[in-house]
Every structure is written in C-alpha cells, then in structure tokens.
Structure 1
C-alpha cells in the first residue's frame, strides 16, 4: 500500500482524518500521502450575479485558490512532523467537484486508500455540501477502499479490527488481495463478526454453513477469531461488539453499504461524534 488520498475541506473532521493518515503511516508501508482540496466554481457564478446581486470576479477566485493552497501547505508542514520518516506529503488543489476530484486523483496517482472525515464543512464555499454529505457517494464511486474517521476519534495503534460479515457470497464479496496488502505485514488480530438476527448459525442453516466454511478457508492465513451475535439491530450489534472488544477499526464488506448509510444517518452521526467511535473501512 503506497499512496493515501486525504480529501481536505479544512474542517476539524478533515484535519483529524489527515492526522489519522499520518499516524497510520507508522503501521504501513505507505510512501505518499496526498492532501487534496476540491474547489469548484460554476461558470455561471462568474457570469451571473447571485440573489444578492454579487458576481464573482476572477481575481477573487484566484485569491481564494491561493488561500486554499496555503492552508494545504500549512497542514503539510504540520503532518511532516508526524509521519514516518521517508513518507512524502503532496498537496493538490483540484478545480472540480469533490466526487470527480477524488476519482481523478485515485486514477492519476494510483492511490490505494482514501481517508475521509465523516463530518465536514463546505468543500467549495460556505453553505455548500461538505465531505460528510458526500461520504457514501465517495465510498461507492471510489475505485479504492475508504476509511471513514469519526471527527472526535483519537488515533490508537491498530491491534484489533472487526470484520462485519453477513456470510453472503463471501468469495465474491471479500477482496482478499487488498486485505493481504493492508494486513499482510501487520500483527493485527481479526475478529470476524456475524450479527445473526435470524439464528442461521445456531440453526445449522446449510447455505450459511457453506459460506462460513469458505470464509474460514479464505482467512486462515490471518488466524481470525469468529463471533456470532444475536442482536435485533445490526449496526448497534457491530458497534457494541467493537467497543466491548476494544477494537480500533471496523471493516465492512463491499456489498454492505447499508451499514455505512446507517452509520451516517444524521442522528447516528451525532451519536458517533459524541461517543468518539472507531474508524470504519469500506472495502471495494
């Protein structure tokens, strides 16, 4: 894993995600961290006045761009004191929509991982949607896996990670190549959790047992432990389990985006921010 991409909208949540990326460098073989800000101005905004009869001038746009680059460089200087020695930090201002900017940078720089703050302020100018509003879209469109970092989370060495699994088509849904790339050189204990709301494991459901057997074979190199929880609410079951076992990360499988959608529901986001829960990695 050589390159991290960290979209930055200059919110506290984005700064925290950047700090997470810098500290994670000590646990991985990353060589480059890209700090990217998306600054998009519609052509109409330079041609037509807004409701307050104010029209953007090119000089104002360029001044704002310079200000954003200066803020990125300031963050780069701060992170340079935190990252593992030898890691290069690159700053980049993309004059496009956030989603387009993320996909473009991943493809151009061959980024392996995107690290986002789960709540953000405006990515363009005040009043516009921020990273938090785009997390699900970025996670779906990103060609690379995404780590979503709660805004109040304080980095801890990742010793244990929970893999949330529903045992559906595990061979198609578990990207083993990335898991080997991310976990291969790290002594991270994997806790594979199935929130079994229908009691299929206890009832010896043949299809479920076949999927479990396949998963055991796929993950045997990591020597994981397997757990089954009977909880009415999958999200709560996963988060309670992670908290109980003091895990430092939850890994959600590619098809399980309903998990993140629930995670980022407004009321749950506030709960996560308040309780400073752990980062979630969405595999691709």
Structure 2
C-alpha cells in the first residue's frame, strides 16, 4: 500500500493540500491517505488542573480533533475512492512527532501546504513544511496556497546536470514516478544563457537518460537569465502538474525554498513542488 500523509491544521491551505492528495491518489490503485493532526499537550497549574481549558480532558480534546478530521475525510471521499484514515496525536513538538510517525508507518509521500490562511497557519504550514523538507525523512510535496493542480500526469524534473549520480537520488525519483507513470520533462534552465551546451552537459544528460529510460524522458535546455520566469513559462506551455526539485548544498537549487528566485517559484506557483533530498 502507498501511504500519503497530509498534516492538517484546518487552515484552508492545509485542506487544499488534502484535496490535491485526494486527486493524485486516484492515479494510484493502492493509495492510502492519512489526515494527520498534532494537538498541543495540556499544561497544568500548581493545583494540577489544566491551564486555560476549564477542566477539559485529553480524551475529549482528541475526540474534537478527530471529529474535525472526519469532516475533512467526508469531503475528500467525494474526490477519491482511496482509503482515508484520520490520526490525531498529542504532543508539543509537531516536527518530531510527524517524523516518528512517518518512519514507523512506511510513508511514501508527505503532502503539505506552504502557507496558511491565517497568520498562525502561515507559521505552522509554512515553516513546518520547509523544516520537514530539511529533515529528509520522505519526499515532500509542497502545495502552494492557490494551487489549481489536480493531477501528476505531467512532471517537470529540474536539474543543473552537474554530477547527476550524486545530486539526484535516482531510486527515490523512480519510486515517485512509478506512483503516477507521468509524462516526464527534464529541464535545465541555465542562468548563464550565453553558455553553449558543453560536452560535460551532454555526458550527464546521457547518464540521466539511461537511468530514467523506463519513463521516456524528454530533455530541454532553456537559456534564460530569469530562473523563475523560465520555469513558470515552461510549466504553463506544457501543462505541468508537478515539479521535482532536489535541495542540496552549494547548488543553484540549494535552499530551494529560501533563495530569492526559487522562493518566488515556491510561493507564487500554482503548481505543487516535490522536494526530494539527496
């Protein structure tokens, strides 16, 4: 079974990520969606009573969260026939709790919204999404706040064609591609647009073409200075549903969600971005 986990903080952005997960689950015969929420542990006063909760018990708080998750599940059931589970866990550390769950439950994809509908949501679904990417516990699909994508049939793989054997986790890429069996576009956007295609580039392309031959990749070399403009234009022209990126150090794709150009792509694109760590 292919397990996709969707952290839910009940902001519209997290629900939109869940809708995207439901749509792409229709492409995977044995998909299992897990709607996941971590609610804070109660703090107790000197008299051993819960602070600010008027005596509410942990069990009832969990039941309330599960009821809210059930409401999201009901909506998603109209989109997909995939199995959908709800999980609510009590802990003050969302990242550690999610990481432990992912490692123990054979999760293939984490699907999260990038920003939230509220300021609190922006903190939760923004910073936490990026920190989960850094932890490299599983491929993370980041769904922009206004994403309209409902598929993963046209996939764009971004690469700089520099030492692809150590900079692209081919096995993990294949696992993701095997979920959706997409049309695969491999694109290099060279910010030094005056540079000609080199022999080194050709050699790296040949290596990548051989390793991804089962997916019949189509290769494109785009010489435009503006990385974001070039990528967005290619996405629009080719009806791309999902972008694959590989965050790593000392690369034009490093800190993919931090640098000025790539943050624009992440925050303003209508297309989900999958981060697969090297």
- What's the TM-score, normalizing by structure 2? 0.84
5 Å matches for 1:225-264? 225-255=218-248, 256-262=253-259
Question: Per-residue CA shift, 1:83-108, capped at 9, x if unaligned?
Answer: 23xx3211111222221122111112
CA 92–187 in structure 1, closer or farther in 2 if over 3 Å, else same: closer
In the alignment, which residue of structure 1 is the partner of 2:185?
Answer: 191
Please state how far the C-alpha of 1:200 moved relative to its aligned partner.
8.2
In the alignment, which residue of structure 1 is the partner of 2:65?
Answer: 68
Q: Contact 2:14/2:112 (CA < 8 Å) preserved in 1? A: yes
Q: Contact 1:28/1:182 (CA < 8 Å) preserved in 2? A: no
Question: Per-residue CA shift, 1:237-270, capped at 9, x if unaligned?
Answer: 22221122221111112423422334784x7666
The runs of at least 4 consecutive aligned structure 1 residues that moved more than 6 Å come to none
- Distance in structure 2 (CA, Å) of the matches to 1:110 and 1:130: 24
After the TM superposition, which of the residue ranges 31-40 and 235-244 deviates more from structure 2?
A: 235-244
CA 200–135 in structure 1, closer or farther in 2 if over 3 Å, else same: farther
Question: Per-residue CA shift, 1:218-244, capped at 9, x if unaligned?
Answer: 122211111111222323322221122
- Distance in structure 2 (CA, Å) of the matches to 1:4 and 1:159: 17
- Distance in structure 2 (CA, Å) of the matches to 1:58 and 1:219: 58
In the alignment, which residue of structure 1 is the partner of 2:44?
Answer: 46
In the alignment, which residue of structure 1 is the partner of 2:74?
Answer: 77
Please state how far the C-alpha of 1:209 moved relative to its aligned partner.
3.1
The Cα RMSD (Å) is: 2.8
After the TM superposition, which of the residue ranges 237-246 and 138-147 deviates more from structure 2?
A: 237-246
Q: Tell me, which stretches of 5 or more residues in structure 1 are unaligned?
A: 49-53
After the TM superposition, which of the residue ranges 252-261 and 189-198 deviates more from structure 2?
A: 252-261
CA 165–79 in structure 1, closer or farther in 2 if over 3 Å, else same: same
In the alignment, which residue of structure 1 is the partner of 2:123?
Answer: 129
Please state how far the C-alpha of 1:121 moved relative to its aligned partner.
5.3
Q: Contact 1:121/1:131 (CA < 8 Å) preserved in 2? A: no
In the alignment, which residue of structure 2 is the partner of 1:104?
Answer: 100
CA 55–37 in structure 1, closer or farther in 2 if over 3 Å, else same: same
CA 98–200 in structure 1, closer or farther in 2 if over 3 Å, else same: farther
Please state how far the C-alpha of 1:178 moved relative to its aligned partner.
2.7
- Distance in structure 1 (CA, Å) of the matches to 2:183 and 2:122: 40
* Matched residue count: 267
Q: For 1:140, what is the secondary structure of its paired residue?
A: helix
CA 180–29 in structure 1, closer or farther in 2 if over 3 Å, else same: farther
Please state how far the C-alpha of 1:186 moved relative to its aligned partner.
4.3
5 Å matches for 1:1-284? 2-41=2-41, 45-47=43-45, 55-57=51-53, 59-60=55-56, 62=58, 63-84=60-81, 87-96=82-91, 97-120=93-116, 129-184=123-178, 186-199=180-193, 202-204=196-198, 206-255=199-248, 256-262=253-259, 265=263, 271-272=268-269, 277-284=270-277
Q: For 2:212, what is the secondary structure of its paired residue?
A: helix
Q: Contact 2:154/2:185 (CA < 8 Å) preserved in 1? A: yes
Please state how far the C-alpha of 1:201 moved relative to its aligned partner.
6.3
Q: For 2:256, what is the secondary structure of its paired residue?
A: helix
